[in-house]
Amino acid sequence: MAGGVVAAVAMLVLFPGFLGLKVLEAITDYRRRTEFDKLGAVVGFSLVVYMAYFGVALAFGLPQVPAAYEAAAFEINGWSVLAIALLAFAVPLVVGVVVNRGWLSRLNYHNWIADRDIGGPASVWVGAFDDFNDKWVRAHLVDGTVIQGCIEWYSDDGEDQEVFIGGASIRSVEGVWKPVSGPGVLIGKGAPVAIIQFLDGEDSDV
């Protein structure tokens, strides 16, 4: 029974953080961060949500602790859980708006807080594909081969640079374009890519 109580309490404490992280990932590019960053976000969201809940509890007469263990019974206050769940949605939505609008980066004027944009992309690779993921690309390989098509998927790690190009055509070193049979071409992190161009159109002559 004691183990079940500990597990239930742990879920109550960490659930708002995990929910907040998923909401933030859904509306920003925060998913393109390290696992340590994500763990920090979970803990941070949990702390902020529960601090906000304490204020809600005082205002509406809810228990300060949403769960209680009395007389060999584990009881959860439904209104408390609902309030925490709503806060777990609201807090990351506000954070997401702040990140997307670049307000944190503006506070970091002349890099007095950090030596990089706060809330910005994790790398140049991620930032470029985030900003231009509706464009067609032309990938120039070191051997002279060129692959062109639309961006279907790209890696969220600047060190593992992989991209899947759909509706692709390949231009050989002789300059002949040939369409690829199948859904597309996967350029893996080991591929010798020299240049990736982001195009304004879908024509091989752009």
Tally of structural domains, the chain:
2
Same domain flag for 6 and 90: yes
| Residue 165: partners with Cβ closer than 8 Å, 6 or more residues away | 137, 139, 147, 148, 149, 150, 151, 152, 184, 185, 186, 187
Distance of alpha carbon 194 from alpha carbon 206, whole angstroms: 19
pTM, full prediction: 0.48
Q: Pick from 111, 146, 161: which residue ends a domain?
A: 111
Among the listed residues 122, 11, 22, the one whose alpha carbon sits nearest the alpha carbon of residue 67:
11
Summary mean pLDDT of the chain: 76
Q: Residue 119 falls within a domain, yes or no?
A: no
Residue 200 has pLDDT above 70, yes or no: yes
Task: Give residue-wise pLDDT tens across range 131-148.
Answer: 788 889 999 988 888 999
Stretch 183-195: mean pLDDT: 85
Distance of alpha carbon 168 from alpha carbon 147, whole angstroms: 7
Same domain flag for 62 and 8: yes
Q: Residue 116 falls within a domain, yes or no?
A: no
172: CATH: 2.30.30.100
Structural contact between residues 152 and 168, judged by C-beta atoms closer than 8 angstroms: no
Q: What pLDDT is stored for residue 104 in this prediction?
A: 56
Same domain flag for 15 and 97: yes
Q: What pLDDT is stored for residue 206 in this prediction?
A: 42
Containing domain of residue 150, as a range? Answer: 124-199
Same domain flag for 35 and 65: yes
Same domain flag for 14 and 79: yes
Same domain flag for 138 and 91: no
Confidence class for position 185, pLDDT limits 50, 70, 90: very high
Task: Give residue-wise pLDDT tens across range 21-80.
Answer: 888 877 776 666 677 778 888 888 888 888 888 888 888 888 876 765 555 555 667 788
With a pLDDT cut of 90, the percent of the chain lying above it is 8
| Residue 87: partners with Cβ closer than 8 Å, 6 or more residues away | 16, 49, 52, 53, 56
